[in-house]
Amino acid sequence: MASQQIANHREDAEVHQGEAICKQQSHQLLDEMSLPRGLLPLDDVAEVGYNRTTGFVWLRQKKRKEHRFPSIGRTVAYDNEVTAFVEERRMRRLTGVKSKELLVWVAISDIFIDDSDLAKITFANSTGISRSFPVSAFQLDDRRK
């Protein structure tokens, strides 16, 4: 389904290919949306696309990746294709991202920073269940990257 969405939004989109430029573009996009740079810690990103008209974004990586956020004790899995509609401090209708809660993988469909508390970032699934964490847990230490 993600590939079909990408095809639908590809026209008029800015598309970048190559690992170095894709990493740079994904960080730039997160900065533009006022979201922490470490939110999408993807490696081997082959393609990044952004249709500014519709707000649709996609990232394609060579293989699925699991990443542990040690400061919050959570493991997150990123599929080969991650898609979302973005706006200021928000990613909605997110696909390709799952968080491990106890022994179960839960799909994340919405990520946002509420105007009332800019220090917290909230992750929600399609059933409306959500969990908030400090934004600082997802900041990228640029000295390491």
CATH number at residue 22: 2.30.240
| Structural domain boundaries enclosing 71 | 1-138
* Within a domain: 134: yes
> And the tokens for 82?
């991650």
* Within a domain: 144: no
Average pLDDT over every residue of 1-9: 82
> And the tokens for 85?
């509609």
* Within a domain: 131: yes
> And the tokens for 10?
């590809």
Average pLDDT over every residue of 30-42: 93
Provide the domain count of the chain.
1
pTM for the complete prediction?
0.90
Calculate the dihedral angle through the C-alpha atoms of 66, 71, 74, 77, rounding to the nearest 10 degrees. -20
Position 142 scores a pLDDT of 53
Position 89 scores a pLDDT of 97
What is each CA distance from 66 to 56, 88, 89, 98, 116, in whole angstroms? Answer: 23, 26, 24, 9, 31
Position 139 scores a pLDDT of 87
* Within a domain: 143: no
* Within a domain: 66: yes
For the segment 111-139, what is each residue's pLDDT rounded down to a tens digit?
Answer: 999 999 999 999 999 998 999 999 999 98
For the segment 61-116, what is each residue's pLDDT rounded down to a tens digit?
Answer: 999 999 999 999 999 999 999 999 999 999 999 999 999 988 899 999 999 999 99
